[in-house]
Structure 1
Amino acid sequence: MGTNGKVIKCKAAIAWEAGKPLCIEEVEVAPPKAHEIRIQIIAISVCHTDTHPIDPKSEETFLPVILGHEAAGIVESVGPGVTNFKPGDKVIPLYMPQCRKCKFCLSPFTNLCEKLNLDKSPVVDQELMEDKTSRFTCKGKSIYHFMGISAFSQYTVVSDKNLAKIDDDANLERVCLLGCGFSTGYGAALNNAKVTPGSTCAIFGLGGVGLSAITGCKVAGASRIIAIDINSEKFTKAKALGATDCLNPRDLDKPVQKVIIEMTKGGVDFALDCAGGSETMRAALDCTKVGGGSCTFIGVAVGDKGLTISPLELIMGRTINGTTFGGWKGVDSVPKLVTDYKNKKFDLDVLVTHTLPFDKINEAFDLMHQGKR
């Protein structure tokens, strides 16, 4: 292509300051270096994780930055040493890399990779490329990357270990959701909680991750799926995806976990917290049954102090686990998820609430914060 090896000028949404709206700016995107790939971003979705570096309460701030990590696009050019991608390939960037060589990638028990700095969270890691420099410049200033992706740019550069090649006929406006939200919730139910046929489940938080977790529980064969959210407007969609019961804690005269225990005569087999925050984590753990109940933590709330747990809660047979990216090894698994979507194993269309042009990205964030996406 005519841009191969050249700097590309394009639009990007830059976070210059914490607590302020993103600014649409012209940026310069450098060509990819060794084992890097430059992508034209076609479709993006917004996620609460994208707000962490710009939340005034966050300790994970690095500015200025181009946020965004849930996307799909087309390869524009590749750097030296790249053999598994070519210009024109449809791809999904991955914030969880998979090198396929390290002890984690070779283990069947985790989807972590040594390419990540495992002393940090994926949110604060990968703010620069592997050579510790940025591929973005704006107004003469270097701009940080975000989670190895920076999808809020018309073009971005990623490592070849942070990229999944997908089918040429994939609908990028839908499969972009596989870059985070859907894969996280769906995989949490299947890969981490390991929901079993005939089981009872409780899903806390009905954003994109929670709704996807409902899908995972249904696909796994759960017989009862209880959906919990403080916004009752989300219940119609939850039921369409497989929820059998819906509860709004604000409408109850006792703690929601007690209601669930009464409904299930002792508690659920599996609880998945997709909201984050100590209150919902507490409720999720409390509503699992003694002697085999499992609680999976997915969401992370900025500034939350976490959960205090008594050893007795675990001694009595409950288990707790957590998940990042739904336990998927992305390079291997995301192409298969795209195929499953094409084969109608699950529905991504129902998760799309609004479609906006790129320059309305702050409006998209407003809708997300209002719980309307």
Structure 2
Amino acid sequence: METVEEITVGKVITCKAAVAWEPKGKFIVQDVQVDPPLAMEVRIKVTHTSLCRSDLFFWTNEALGHTFPRIFGHEAAGIVESVGEGIDDLKPGDHVLPVFTGECKECKYCASPKTNLCSKFGTESLATGMKGDGKSRFSVNGKPVSRFLGSTFSEYTVVEYPYVVKINPVAPLDKVCLLGCGVTAGIGAVRRIAQLEPGATIAVFGLGTVGLSVVKEAQRRGASRIIGVDININKAAEGNFFGVTDFFNPDNLDKPVEEVIKELTGGGVDYAFECVGNPKVMATAFASCQDGWGTTIVLGVAGPATVSIPTRSLLTGRCMKGTLYGGYKPKTDVPALVEQYLHKDFDVEEFITHNLPFSRINDAFKLLQAGECLRTVLHYNETVN
């Protein structure tokens, strides 16, 4: 079992991190200084981090107004190095997942079984790039470096306690890091949001990791038809591997894809999952659903935009739902999800297409931008090709 060095507790740690100094700029792997955790904070030694399209979206989208320099990354796993005052159920050496949405277990959202939102520790509180005290725990030669969610593109990171999930130390960190975001979002969208029944028909728009995790879970739950939609023609074979029964590239059709789906299914699918984060695709997914009960579930991350859907379709029974992290409450539900993985109730290995040393993070982003990977896992302390 991996361990942490007790001699670092209470001290500033200098370690390697990938710093983005400007939007779309090359990630610079360099020394950064990471402060000790303050009250109700946890400093984590990140062992593995994977790349998510949310990192790509916020790194390249200048219109969002994020401050730079910044350390991105949020889908990861690691080991507690030290904890701040007030934390009594985490200790150095514990294996954890840093997650992007928190759970205080006290607010009305956390008390409700209807949502996994938290009014005190949502994703919005992490978007500013600074901690609640207006400061960063990262710096380069005295210059503050903004964070992004868990900032796991750093060998060490500091995360607030509500965003840290303790997991079974038996779980392989290079695999369960994927449960920090994408795979969990897809599984939960099928299980918790759709509550998909055997025999249901679905359409999945966007066959990345999130979309394919929807496909795989729908197959496990006995969906009768799984339609995959993607403009990357290479996704046809990949989708088939995961359980897609019919694949369409909208760019290659002579009519709108929603019309094709309605003709194929005799009126539309029972569930449509939007995994792209594009308002136009959301509207298309909605139009692909069956009148009377068709449900569109939005998983894709989009910037500030408006979705346009006809009100008549709402009056005739269709609906659209959004979901964050698949509806799972991080501290309450995710440890059990890790146990399900350990009992082989589902796989995550099939979503890992590349393993690279952390120093090759720029190569990993090129794969992601080119659509040539699902998840690339970056390893901090292991030799990988």
Shift of 1:310: 2.1
CA positional deviation for 1:123: 6.3
Residue number in structure 1 paired with 2:341: 341
Deviation at 1:183, TM superposition (A): 0.7
Quote the residue 2:127 is aligned against: 124
2:40 is aligned with what amino acid? Answer: H
In 2, distance between residues paired with 1:240 and 1:122?
38
Q: CA-to-partner distance for each residue in 1:199-242, whole Å, 9 max, x for gaps?
A: 10100001111011112222333221111111222233322222
Q: Verify the 8 A CA contact 2:209 2:351 in the aligned structure 1.
A: yes
Alpha-carbon separation, structure 1, partners of 2:350 and 2:65: 32
In 2, distance between residues paired with 1:173 and 1:240?
23
How far is the alpha carbon of 1:79 from its aligned partner? 1.1
Instruction: Mark the runs of 5 or more structure 1 residues left unpaired by the alignment.
Output: none
Amino acid at match of 2:307: L
Structure 1 segments of 4+ aligned residues over 6 angstroms from their partners:
none
Q: Offset at 1:128?
A: 2.1
CA contact (8 A) 1:198 1:221 kept: yes
C-alpha contact (below 8 Å) 1:60/1:124 kept by paired residues: no
Structure 1 equivalent of residue 39 of structure 2: 34
Q: Secondary structure at the match of 1:104?
A: helix
Residue 358 (structure 1) aligned with residue 358 (structure 2): yes
* Contact 2:104–2:121 (8 Å) recurs in 1: no
RMSD: 1.6
Secondary structure of the corresponding residue to residue 58 of structure 1:
helix
- Taking the aligned partners of 1:237 and 1:297, their CA distance within structure 2 comes to 22
Give the structure 2 partner of residue 140 of structure 1.
142
- In structure 2, what residue type is equivalent to 1:107? S
Query: Which position in structure 2 is the counterpart of 1:153?
Result: 154
Deviates more, 1:196-205 or 1:236-245: 236-245
Query: More displaced, 211-220 or 254-263?
Result: 211-220
Once the two structures are superposed, residues 94-129 of structure 1 have per-residue CA deviations (whole angstroms, 9 ceiling, x without a partner) of 111011111110111111112236xx746625x222
CA displacement at 1:302 relative to structure 2? 4.4
> Alpha carbons of 1:172 and 1:93: their partners in 2 closer, same or farther (altered >3 Å)?
same
Matched pairs, number: 368
Indicate the residue corresponding to 1:197 in structure 2. 198
Task: Say whether the 8 Å CA contact 1:53–1:62 is kept in structure 2.
Answer: no
| Pairing 1:1-373 to 2, within 5 Å after superposition | 1-116=6-121, 121=124, 124=127, 127-147=129-149, 149-302=150-303, 305-373=305-373
Secondary structure in 1 matching 2:8:
coil
CA contact 2:121–2:162 (8 Å) conserved in 1: no
Amino acid at match of 1:316: T
Q: Is the 8 A contact 2:41 2:83 kept in 1?
A: yes
% identity of equivalent residues: 44
TM-score, length of structure 1 as denominator length: 0.95
CA distance in structure 1 between the partners assigned to 2:222 and 2:87 by the alignment: 41
